[in-house]
Structure 1
Amino acid sequence: MPASKQFAAVTGAGSGIGRATAVALAEAGFTVALIGRRAEPLLETKEVIGVAGGEAQVFQADVSNAASVDQAFLHIAAAFGRLDVLFNNAGRNAGAVPLEDYDTDFWNDVVATNLTGVFLCARAAYRLMKAQSPQGGRIINNGSISAHAPRPHTIAYTATKHAVTGITKSISLDGRAFNIACGQIDIGNAATSLTERMNKGVLQADGRMAPEARMDVTHVANAVVHMASLPLEANVLNMTIMASAMPFVGRG
């Protein structure tokens, strides 16, 4: 629990992991900046937080667009005065596409959201955290267990998630001088609308289609809150949270 009023930003806050985490951060005492492309789902998240007695504001932004991201964080700075935590969560699924069928525009779209978007939001938060007084803050990147092992036919998604790990480590190193900590949470099979297909079956490394276990998304949200609530002298550099029965360990 934060000792005094603190401010967090969550990208992709309109649904799924982003919404669950924004709600959990508000419940933990953070005032939350809700960031995403579409206003309506962000307003729905804000309403959920408000009903529970929390505080949140909506900031529309396309995370793949530098000007849009920078404008949103300028508005966050003006509204809150500082930023203590960024949960760099926004991303997109890419589906299973054989390498020989990959379209260049499809590749670029996945990279724009899952990699460039993470960089742009981290850069904007880093600038704010470096300039504010007291200096410092925490950036938490949403990686994936695909940052460790791929699913079949997911080269774009897997490449971006491996690259997010490089971003996390670089920020963790470069942020030391400015009291900016950076960690990564790698999530496996949280129960959201994006993973409902896993109940019917998804492609496995041996070519089979098989259903996979999922876990309640609140476990992910609570894990992010734990990372966010640590004093800046401590950092979870990398956490893997997964449905216990999913086939990640021993995949292939």
Structure 2
Amino acid sequence: MAKVAIVTGASSGIGRTSAIALSKAGWSIALFARRIDSLLETKSLCADPERILAVQGDVTNEEDVKNLFKATVDKFGRLDLLFNNAGISAKQIPIEDLPLSKFQEIVNVNLVGTFLCTREAVRIFKSQSPQGGRIINNGSISAYTPRPHSAPYTATKHAVLGMTKSTLLDGRNFNITCTQIDIGNAQTDMAGSHSAGALQPNGQTIPEQMMDVTHVGEAVAYIAGLPHEVTVLTFNIMATGMPFVGRG
């Protein structure tokens, strides 16, 4: 029987690439995002579209999230993997110029959305037979080292690392494991502008090395395929030349 995954933020970028890689590896997948047309495009790119469910919704909406998990179990019978991928960032502006509404928007998507999906996944993992499952959280290089003027994004990614550790600890006795994948400079719509020029701590704006996003999808599929008795707590994948080790 094929294993079943949920991928949030599956309409483009890392979510789309990871869904394609999981499908190629034989997974059945529920895709989740706000843009149904883009979700259907992701579905068409998967190895077996007949085993793909597209669910429109918002990770910050509790009822949308509950509907996602119910629809997944109704269609596929169980859940083996949640990839908490949905996330947003803000323009690099000084914190004194940052509106509260923008800060709260980033917290809601990156942290509250991760919480809501994790809660529903854990409920299913504990109740199903055989018991257990795996969660992969999309962290960031910024979970460890910030870029300039990135307080809301950096704060949420540090918080996601705490949630990753707590989920792993609390899931031990239920065959539940949790990984944070920390991605640096994958070529996506969200991060692609770094190749043209990114603000550095010394005030300069310089082009940064990027990597093909397909490598991220392959890494997600690899981690997803590990048995539950094996845990990868954190997994860093980044363009070799990007400024992180010694950033700034």
User: TM-score surpassing 0.5?
Assistant: yes
Instruction: Indicate the residue corresponding to 2:221 in structure 1.
Output: 225
| Structure 1 segments unaligned to the other structure (5+ residues) | none
Write out aligned runs for 1:13-32 (5 A). Answer: 13-32=10-29
What residue in structure 1 maps to residue 157 of structure 2?
161
Instruction: Map 1:161-200 to 2 at 5 A.
Output: 161-200=157-196
Aligned to 2:200: 204
The reply on whether 1:75 has 2:63 as its aligned counterpart is no
Deviation at 1:197, TM superposition (A): 1.2
> What TM-score do you get using the length of structure 1 for normalisation?
0.96
The aligned counterpart of 2:48 is 53
Whether 2:13 is the aligned partner of 1:35: answer no
- Asked if 1 retains the 8 angstrom alpha-carbon contact of 2:83 and 2:136, the reply is yes
Q: 1:117 aligns to what? A: 113
SS state of the match for residue 60, structure 2? coil
SS at match of 1:123: helix
Question: In the alignment, residue 12 of structure 2 is paired with which amino acid?
Answer: S
Q: Offset at 1:53?
A: 3.3
Q: 149-158 vs 94-103, which deviates more?
A: 94-103
The alpha-carbon deviation at position 236 of structure 1 amounts to 0.6
Does the CA contact (< 8 Å) of 2:10 and 2:31 recur in 1? Answer: yes
Q: Confirm whether residue 247 of structure 1 aligns to residue 243 of structure 2.
A: yes
2: CA distance, partners of 1:225 / 1:235: 14
- Is contact 2:83–2:138 with CA below 8 Å preserved after alignment? yes
Query: Take 1:96 and 1:108, find their aligned partners in 2: how far apart are those partners?
Result: 16
SS in 2 for 1:175: helix
Q: How large is the RMSD of aligned CA atoms in angstroms? A: 0.9
Identity %: 55
Is residue 10 from structure 1 mapped to residue 7 from structure 2 by the alignment?
yes
Taking the aligned partners of 2:38 and 2:82, their CA distance within structure 1 comes to 19
* Structure-1 separation of matches of 2:106 and 2:190: 16
Task: For residue 198 of structure 1, report the CA deviation from its aligned partner.
Answer: 1.3
Preserved CA contact (<8 Å) 2:196 2:206? yes
Kindly tell me the number of residue pairs found equivalent between the two proteins: 247
Q: Distance in 1 between matches of 2:2 and 2:104?
A: 39
Matched residues in 1 for 2:99 and 2:191: separation?
Answer: 24
In 2, Cα distance between the equivalents of 1:13 and 1:44? 10
Residue by residue over 1:205-252, the C-alpha shift from the partner in whole angstroms, topping out at 9 and shown as x without a partner, is: 111000000001011011111110000000111001000010111112
Taking structure 2 as the reference length, the TM-score comes to 0.98
